[in-house]
Amino acid sequence: MTNTGLGKRIRERRKELGLTQIELALRCVEVDSGYISMLETGKRSPTLQIINDIAQGLEITMAALLSGERFEPPHYNPGMNRLITYAAMLSPDDLDDLMKLAQIIFDRHNCD
């Protein structure tokens, strides 16, 4: 199974950012430059987890990467996506502690 459309979008966005395959791989958690090369040439079909990882490295949403859309919501923040990914791996107790910390920060800055 090939996925040249996705690979083309990865390559285009990577070049828009002025990144080499190695530089993109360094921004990602789960892939190396060889895997990125295979994706860009349509020789691999990634999992959703890898697509999310690459989208974060490319500073776009996973939906934008999959659809090819160019619009990014003004509130998009790649750091927030990474935080959400990490939070999803926490135990329920640790997640509760993180939520308490977030509430303290929001309260200090009068966020709702």
Question: What gap in Å lies between CA 45 and CA 4, rounded to an integer?
Answer: 9
Distance, CA of 42 to CA of 1 (rounded, Å): 8
52 by Cβ neighbours in 10 Å (0-12 / 13-18 / 19+) ranks as buried
The DSSP 8-state label assigned to residue 60 in this structure reads S
Distance CA 78, CA 29 (A): 13
Is 85 domain-assigned?
yes
What pLDDT, in 10s, does the model give residues 8-29? 999 999 999 999 999 999 999 8
> Is residue 73 a part of any domain in this protein?
no
Structural domain including 11 reads 4-67
Taking the whole predicted model, whether its pTM rises above 0.85 is answered as: no
CATH of residue 29? 1.10.260.40
Nearest by Cα to 46 from 26, 68, 31: 31
Query: For 35-56, what is each residue's pLDDT tens digit?
Result: 999 999 999 989 988 999 999 9
